[in-house]
């Protein structure tokens, strides 16, 4: 079975999944702002929206909200009303700002470790809007800190597409096998693979990455993220015979 998965990768060659060291929020310094200010041109100004001159303060507000552990309504009023910051973060999410910035910070850059973590937190805060495309992007970039929970507990569109192209053709023949035992084995196998593709239906709070960062900050450093469970192990998904 393992030979069917040897070409499957969640991250491109040379990129390893990793967790970004948490950095407490603070206003961006001049070096950090100059590194990301060019992304603001993609956020079209308009009525009620910050101009390029006010974009630094607006971006600081979004990073502050993304790193804030509590609900929106309890955000401090230093940057304005919580509802206004929430609308701004959603607007920028729909405009694709966090996806562009996530691709930028995926490459380790000296002096931008804080920006990398804050962008991951903003991306994670808007996970409902990002959808499956956002999950796939974070996985391909190897930025597990941009995911709201461990990777293997979340839906995996890339794995689903891979199994659809490599497993289903062989499964069709197995399901049409006249032997009921082999048919049942194929059904059990497909159900297990399906559960790996769709992820957990519900995630307890203690599995959320934000909660784990708060309780166990010593776990999150310049180390690789823990590997996913061996869903491709022969003992778990062996072909019926």
- Compute the distance between CA of residue 227 and CA of residue 225 in angstroms, rounded to an integer: 6
What pLDDT does residue 108 have? 82
Q: Please indicate, yes or no, whether the overall pTM of this predicted structure exceeds 0.75.
A: yes
Q: Give, for all 241 residues of the chain, the pLDDT tens digit.
A: 445 555 555 666 666 778 888 888 889 999 999 999 888 877 756 555 556 667 888 899 889 888 887 777 777 777 778 888 888 889 999 989 999 999 999 888 888 889 999 999 999 999 889 888 998 899 889 888 898 888 888 888 888 888 888 888 888 888 888 888 888 888 888 888 888 888 888 888 777 777 666 654 555 443 333 334 333 333 334 445 4
Angle (CA) 221-120-101 rounded to 5° is: 125
What pLDDT does residue 52 have? 60
- Compute the distance between CA of residue 223 and CA of residue 167 in angstroms, rounded to an integer: 34
What pLDDT does residue 144 have? 86
- Compute the distance between CA of residue 109 and CA of residue 105 in angstroms, rounded to an integer: 7
Helix spans in 142-167 (H): 157-166
Is there a contact between 26 and 59 (Cβ–Cβ < 8 Å)? no
What pLDDT does residue 44 have? 59
Element (H, E) at 9: none
What pLDDT does residue 97 have? 92
Tokens standing for residue 91: 């607007």
What pLDDT does residue 47 have? 59
What pLDDT does residue 120 have? 93
């Amino acid at each position: 079975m393992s030979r069917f998965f040897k070409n499957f990768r969640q991250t491109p060659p040379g990129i390893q999944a990793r967790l970004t060291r948490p950095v407490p929020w603070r206003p961006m310094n001049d070096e950090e702002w100059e590194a990301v200010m060019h992304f603001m041109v993609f956020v079209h100004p308009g009525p009620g929206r910050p101009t390029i001159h006010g974009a630094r303060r607006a971006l600081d507000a979004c990073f502050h909200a993304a790193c804030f552990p509590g609900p929106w309504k309890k955000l401090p009023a230093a940057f304005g009303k919580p509802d206004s910051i929430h609308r701004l973060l959603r607007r920028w999410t729909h405009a694709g700002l966090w996806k562009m910035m996530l691709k930028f910070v995926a490459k380790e850059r000296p002096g931008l470790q804080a920006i990398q973590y804050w962008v991951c937190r903003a991306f994670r805060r808007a996970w409902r809007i990002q959808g499956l495309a956002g999950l796939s992007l974070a996985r391909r970039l190897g930025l597990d800190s941009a995911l709201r929970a461990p990777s293997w507990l979340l839906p995996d569109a890339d794995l689903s597409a891979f199994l659809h192209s490599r497993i289903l053709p062989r499964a069709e023949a197995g399901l049409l096998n006249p032997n009921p035992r082999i048919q049942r084995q194929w059904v059990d196998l497909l159900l297990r693979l399906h559960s790996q593709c769709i992820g957990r239906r519900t995630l307890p709070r203690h599995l959320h990455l934000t909660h784990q960062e708060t309780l166990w900050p010593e776990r999150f450093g310049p180390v690789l993220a823990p590997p996913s469970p061996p869903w491709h192990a022969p003992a778990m998904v062996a072909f019926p015979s």
